[in-house]
């Protein structure tokens, strides 16, 4: 039986140390962004994957959270060692 | 019995907007029993019936992992609402339908409110309502745009029909193999129990038992259903032995597969055509050879636009604040008897000159954010990141480093924190170090003032050159460090997604411009106001009792002037060794915009008393209004002239620029600050001809020297005090060295 999509997501994080962005994972597993969010969200809820700290709000720059050079801050996740 | 409907959905799908639209002001807000989660109830009047509407907490699924999920699920299972309206984001169906499938599995009548359909249409998504309804077991699917109250009547009609003729959907999640066998086995056992049949839908309960749902298991235990629980445990073991996977994962996976199938059959995406068209553009824009020159040309255009096109309005705001408001605020203070008091001086020379000196740059920022907004919304910025990523890898830096460094163009603080996405500690430190050389937005006002004062129409080129220098210094520093103290294997390419190009939307761009400029205005009213008042105090206090009295002292003899004078000689080799520039650099450590507010304060005190032309209020008001119209004309002129200026970049080509108005128009002349800078830099550099060279050296120093105190604190927090001090010393040394080289070389070449 071939590995489930959920299993592939977890395996991808287990096999590559460090963090990985949602988009990089979507590309790696050939999934849409929404599908990838669903699958990652499942493992986050189960505590097997965790989100890497979000960008803090910047209080010192006029642009605040929305950086003038980036569309949207990429979301990064990593394998949560137990 | 009162009929009720529950609103369920993912967070941020417009559920509350629909709830408000359905219930109007007939709402009650409280908490869910025993929980701190907010519970909103309202009343919907339909066919003379009062229907209870309950807004459930936003959740992505109905498992038992979060309090919101448990509340939503328990409400549906225990309270049994007459129907559930599942609010889904039409633009992100992949994510939203998972919850819908779980709601349908609960055996309750479900209506899908396909919200945000306007966004989905803009993204080119075509959703078949009929197709979606059929794949979801025949449940009603209604289109809505909650924030415009569109589709509300259709939704009410769907609710009315479902309340009258309840219909539960039935979906085939295609459980297969041993999973299907075990679900069917448990279902048949549940069906045999009358008590369980009354409370639970057998298929849902069987699935929950195989998922090992602790909430459901606890509930069955309390009802004495030990035998069923044992059977479920055996079933789970059988599945696990047979497939090697946890049954919960298998069930979730098959649900996701079902969602994929629904989307494949009911949603048409324009992906192929958009990507093909975008890819054709990308062949040029991200080309190995042309990508970088195109990026540089676009950045050159951005800074031309920012510096030159905003110039006329910058001058107008300067005249408005520093002449009109400064003068008439003074008159009002005279009238109330505060004209020569310390309070009057604080208001005029502290608050108006300091904060006003920075507010002058609002037009610059609006134009910068307009230009960047267009590039960002069109999809180009992601390409810029792609092009820069390649350059950085070529220099031996990690592919992922591009992100924090590009964020550094906005602000260094989030850039330092953004290095957390790098797994290697050495790469993190190095990237944070380099990000400080990316010129943050707060330094832009400095370049713009000096550009306008010393280089006039070529000021955009100065700004562009300074930004480019920051990138070059960062790359060289990175290259040297990567090949010496941080030697490691070559970095891997960074995988990134390039979104399709699109026509920028004016409303989105305006929102970005406002959000970012608003942040700047807030900072002007807080940090800069505080610093301006503190600086006024330091400039009002004489350094010695012989040099003057409080608030009656020459700026150079004040405490601030004398302290700055002590350090000023260090900058003499760089051509800007005056106490005024040194003092501005010192206060600039708090925030870079403060450099300009400090200069405005210093030169305001020095020059306002000298020029007093007698004019009436109405004459001044008329002049300011006329200048506004003139500034509008000149803005159009500057925008048009970007074209010949860009063409003139080609060697041996020289096209003339257009001129709509006579040269001597009021808002075109040098501002008071600009005139003061021309004078001051000519003095400190030794001659008028050397002044512009010293000005460039000063800008280079501002670009490279210690980042603001917030950025330094972020470095300390992330990497410790040693690294922070290393950065402070390195940036100070490199800034001083570069400024001296620029001034000394420039003097030899151009003076």
CA contacts within 13 A on the Cβ side of B506: 0
Find the CB nearest B381 among A32, A60, A71. A71
Q: Which two tokens stand for residue B364?
A: 């610059």
- Rounded to 5 degrees, φ, ψ at B742 are -60, -45
pLDDT value at residue A66 = 46
Q: What is the pLDDT of residues A14-29, one digit of tens each?
A: 888 777 878 778 878 8
Higher pLDDT, B227 or B393: B227
pLDDT value at residue B459 = 81
What percentage of chain B exceeds 70 in pLDDT? 89
CATH class of the region A5-79? mainly alpha
Least Cα separation, residue B340 to chain A (angstroms):
35
Q: What is the pLDDT of residues B713-739, one digit of tens each?
A: 888 888 888 988 998 999 999 999 999
Query: Residue B291 in contact with residue A81, Cβ under 8 Å?
Result: no
CB contact under 8 A, B411 and A63: yes
B contacts of A68 (beta carbons < 8 Å): 368-369, 372, 376, 409-410, 441, 516
pLDDT value at residue B578 = 92
CB contact under 8 A, B382 and A53: no
- Give the CATH fold of the B4-164 domain: Rossmann fold (3.40.50)
Task: pLDDT band for B665, please (50, 70, 90 cuts).
Answer: very low
CB contact under 8 A, A60 and B710: yes
Where do the structural domains in chain B lie, given as residue ranges?
4-164, 177-268, 291-614+669-750
Gap between the Cα atoms of A26 and A48, Å rounded: 18
What value does the mean pLDDT take over residues B308-317? 84
Least Cα separation, residue A4 to chain B (angstroms):
6
For the whole model, what pTM was predicted?
Answer: 0.58
The SS3 of residue B512 is: helix
Q: What is the pLDDT of residues B215-261, one digit of tens each?
A: 889 989 998 889 999 999 999 999 999 888 889 888 888 888 888 88
Least Cα separation, residue A48 to chain B (angstroms):
13
pLDDT value at residue B171 = 66
Higher pLDDT, B111 or B671: B111
What value does the mean pLDDT take over residues B492-500? 56
Average pLDDT, chain B: 83
A contacts of B365 (beta carbons < 8 Å): 62
CB contact under 8 A, A4 and B253: yes
Find the CB nearest A59 among B92, B516, B710. B710
CB contact under 8 A, A70 and B381: yes
CATH class of the region B177-268? mainly alpha
A contacts of B424 (beta carbons < 8 Å): 18
Find the CB nearest A58 among B60, B260, B413. B413
Name residues whose C-beta falls within 8 Å of residue B657's C-beta, 6 or more positions apart in sequence.
B457, B641, B644, B645
Least Cα separation, residue B497 to chain A (angstroms):
6
pLDDT value at residue A71 = 40
Q: Is the pLDDT of residue A82 over 70?
A: no
Give bridge partners of residue B86 from the DSSP assignment. B8, B112
CB contact under 8 A, A38 and B368: no
Q: Nearest residue on chain B to A40, judged by CA atoms?
A: B95
CB contact under 8 A, A69 and B381: yes
Q: Is the pLDDT of residue B114 over 90?
A: yes
The CB-based long-range contact list for B613-620 (8 Å cut-off, 24+ gap) reads: B617/B328, B617/B331, B620/B323, B620/B324, B620/B327, B620/B328
Task: pLDDT band for A59, please (50, 70, 90 cuts).
Answer: very low
What CA dihedral angle connects B743, B567, B704 and B682, to 10 degrees?
A: -30
Where do the structural domains in chain A lie, given as residue ranges?
5-79
Kind of pairing between the strands at B4-9 and B83-89: parallel
Find the CB nearest B414 among A24, A42, A55. A55
Q: Is the pLDDT of residue B95 over 90?
A: no
Q: What is the pLDDT of residues B549-599, one digit of tens each?
A: 777 777 778 888 889 999 999 999 999 999 999 999 998 888 888 888 888
Least Cα separation, residue B429 to chain A (angstroms):
16
Least Cα separation, residue A82 to chain B (angstroms):
18
Indicate which of A36, A57, A67, A71 best probes the interface with B, i.e. most B CBs within 10 Å of its own CB: A67
Interface size between A and B, measured as CB pairs under 8 A: 155
Q: What is the pLDDT of residues B318-346, one digit of tens each?
A: 888 878 888 888 889 888 888 778 888 88
Find the CB nearest A32 among B94, B384, B591. B94
Q: Which two tokens stand for residue B216?
A: 């459901």
ipTM of the complex, rounded to two decimals: 0.76
């Amino acid at each position: 039986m071939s590995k489930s999509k959920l299993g592939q997501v977890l395996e991808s994080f287990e096999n590559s140390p460090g963090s990985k962005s949602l988009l990089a994972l979507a590309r790696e597993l050939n999934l849409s962004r929404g599908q990838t969010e669903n699958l990652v969200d499942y493992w986050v809820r189960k505590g097997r994957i965790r989100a890497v700290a979000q960008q803090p709000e910047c209080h010192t720059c006029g642009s605040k959270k929305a950086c003038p050079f980036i569309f949207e801050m990429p979301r990064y996740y990593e394998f949560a060692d137990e | 019995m009162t009929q009720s409907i529950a609103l369920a959905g993912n967070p941020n799908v417009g559920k509350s907007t629909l709830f408000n639209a359905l219930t109007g002001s007939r709402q009650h807000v409280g908490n869910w029993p025993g929980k701190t989660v907010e519970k909103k109830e309202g009343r919907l009047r339909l066919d003379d019936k009062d229907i209870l509407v309950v807004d459930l907490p936003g959740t992505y699924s109905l498992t038992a992992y979060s309090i919101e999920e448990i509340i939503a699920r328990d409400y549906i299972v225990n309270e049994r609402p007459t129907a559930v309206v599942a609010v889904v984001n039409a633009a992100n169906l992949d994510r939203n339908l998972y919850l819908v499938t779980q709601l349908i599995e609960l055996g309750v009548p479900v209506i899908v409110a396909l919200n945000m359909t306007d966004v989905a249409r803009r993204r080119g998504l075509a959703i078949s309502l009929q197709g979606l309804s059929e794949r979801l077991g025949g449940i009603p699917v209604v289109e809505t745009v909650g924030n415009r109250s569109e589709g509300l009547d259709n939704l009410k009609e769907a609710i009315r029909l479902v309340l009258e003729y309840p219909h539960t959907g039935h979906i085939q999640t295609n459980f297969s193999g041993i999973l299907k066998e075990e679900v069917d086995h448990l279902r048949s056992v549940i069906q045999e129990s009358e008590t369980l049949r009354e409370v639970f839908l057998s298929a849902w309960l069987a699935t929950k038992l195989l998922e090992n749902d602790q909430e459901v298991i606890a509930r069955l235990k309390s009802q004495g259903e030990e035998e069923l629980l044992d059977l479920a445990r055996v079933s789970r073991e059988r599945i696990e032995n047979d497939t090697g996977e946890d049954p919960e994962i298998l069930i979730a996976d098959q649900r996701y597969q079902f969602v994929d199938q629904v989307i494949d059959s009911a949603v048409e995406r324009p992906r192929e055509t958009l990507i093909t068209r975008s890819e054709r553009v990308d062949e040029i824009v991200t080309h190995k050879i042309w990508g970088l020159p195109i990026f540089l040309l676009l950045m050159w255009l951005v800074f031309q636009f920012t510096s030159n096109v905003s110039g006329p309005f910058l001058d107008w705001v300067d005249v408005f604040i520093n002449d009109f408001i400064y003068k008439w605020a003074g008159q009002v203070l005279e009238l109330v008897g505060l004209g020569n008091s310390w309070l009057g001086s604080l208001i005029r020379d502290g608050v108006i000159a300091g904060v006003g000196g920075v507010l002058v740059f609002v037009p610059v920022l609006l134009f910068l954010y307009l230009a960047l907004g267009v590039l960002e919304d069109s999809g180009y910025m992601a390409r810029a990141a792609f092009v820069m990523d390649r350059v950085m890898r070529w220099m031996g830096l990690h592919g992922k480093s591009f992100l924090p460094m590009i964020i550094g163009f906005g602000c260094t603080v989030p850039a330092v924190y953004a290095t957390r996405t790098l797994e290697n500690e050495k790469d993190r430190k190095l990237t944070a170090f380099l990000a400080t050389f990316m010129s943050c937005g707060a330094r832009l006002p400095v370049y713009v003032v000096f550009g306008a004062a010393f280089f006039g129409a070529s000021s955009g080129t100065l700004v562009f050159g300074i930004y480019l220098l920051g990138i070059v210094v960062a790359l060289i520093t990175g290259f040297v460090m990567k090949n010496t103290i941080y030697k490691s294997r070559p970095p891997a390419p960074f995988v990134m997604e390039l979104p399709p190009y699109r026509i920028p939307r004016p409303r989105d761009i305006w929102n970005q411009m406002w959000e970012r400029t608003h942040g700047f205005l807030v900072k002007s009213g807080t940090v800069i106001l505080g610093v301006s008042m503190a600086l006024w105090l330091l400039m009002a206090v004489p350094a010695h009792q012989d040099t003057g009295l409080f608030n009656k002292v020459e700026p150079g003899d004040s405490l601030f002037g004398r302290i700055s004078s002590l350090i000023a000689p260090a900058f003499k080799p760089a051509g800007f060794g005056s106490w005024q520039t040194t003092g501005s650099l010192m206060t600039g450590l708090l925030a870079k915009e403060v450099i300009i507010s400090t200069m405005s304060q210093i030169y305001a005190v020095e020059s306002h008393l000298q020029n007093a032309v007698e004019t009436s209020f109405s004459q001044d008001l008329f002049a300011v209004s006329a200048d506004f119209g003139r500034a509008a004309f000149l803005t159009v002129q500057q925008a048009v002239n970007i074209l010949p200026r860009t063409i003139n970049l080609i060697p041996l080509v020289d096209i003339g620029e257009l001129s709509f108005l006579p040269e001597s128009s009021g808002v075109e002349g040098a501002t008071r600050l600009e005139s003061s800078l021309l004078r001051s830099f000519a003095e400190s550099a030794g001659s008028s001809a050397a002044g512009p060279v010293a000005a460039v050296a000063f800008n280079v120093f501002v670009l490279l020297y210690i980042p603001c105190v917030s950025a330094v604190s972020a470095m300390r927090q992330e990497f410790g005090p040693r690294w922070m001090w290393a950065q402070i010393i390195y940036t100070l040394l490199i800034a001083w060295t570069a400024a001296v080289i620029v001034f000394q070389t420039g003097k030899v070449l151009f003076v």
